[in-house]
């Protein structure tokens, strides 16, 4: 099983993902760790990524998901996966993959991103994240303003774990 936690920057994907993976005894992967250096440099300058910028990143994440599944590994991946096309590229549509959308409002995530230290994601990039976001229709939506441990517990319940 591979679970992807999606949402805009600051929605809590990494925090919830780590809690979820720890609670399940699964591997945790943060998609931010797979951005090529050029993408990190661009975002560090406050420049939004284009689909062309994201292509190699998404390909590496697709390979990560495929390889995890081939090893029989259960994993949690924190990934923005803002567009439907990105999600289709990342996850096969089967019973061994689950997508959870950590939905949050602009003001909440702006405050969270502004309070981060040492992360390349700049608050001024939030507008582009919300502009690119295609909210998924047929996946589990979770209120990202809830405490991370509650969200992780809810996901475990929904997984039957």
pLDDT tens digits for 90-115? 887 777 889 999 999 988 888 877 77
Q: What is the pLDDT of the chain when averaged over all its residues?
A: 90
Is the separation of the CB atoms in 103 and 11 below 8 Å?
yes
- Please state the rounded mean pLDDT for residues 72-99: 90
Q: What is the C-alpha separation between 25 and 76, in angstroms, rounded?
A: 10
Q: Is the pLDDT of residue 122 over 70?
A: no
Rounded to two decimals, the pTM is 0.90
Q: For the chain, how many residues are written? A: 161
Is the separation of the CB atoms in 14 and 29 below 8 Å?
no
Q: What is the C-alpha separation between 159 and 8, in angstroms, rounded?
A: 23
**Both tokens of residue 61?**
């994440």
- Band of pLDDT at residue 48, cut at 50, 70 and 90: confident
Residue 119, pLDDT score: 59
- Band of pLDDT at residue 125, cut at 50, 70 and 90: confident
């Amino acid at each position: 099983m591979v679970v992807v936690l999606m949402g805009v920057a600051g929605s809590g994907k990494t925090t919830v993902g780590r809690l979820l993976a720890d609670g399940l005894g699964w591997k945790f992967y943060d998609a931010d760790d797979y951005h090529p250096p050029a993408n990190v440099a661009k975002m560090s300058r406050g420049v939004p990524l284009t689909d062309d910028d994201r292509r190699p990143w998404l390909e590496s994440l697709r390979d990560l998901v495929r390889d995890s599944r081939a090893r029989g590994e259960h994993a949690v991946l924190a990934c923005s996966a803002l567009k439907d096309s990105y999600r289709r590229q990342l996850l096969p549509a089967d019973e061994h993959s689950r997508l959870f959308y950590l939905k949050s409002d602009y003001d909440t995530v702006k405050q969270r991103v502004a309070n981060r230290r040492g992360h390349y994601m700049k608050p001024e990039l939030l507008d582009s994240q919300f502009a690119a976001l295609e909210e998924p229709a047929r996946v589990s939506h979770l209120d990202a303003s809830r405490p991370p441990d509650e969200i992780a517990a809810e996901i475990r319940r929904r997984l039957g774990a």
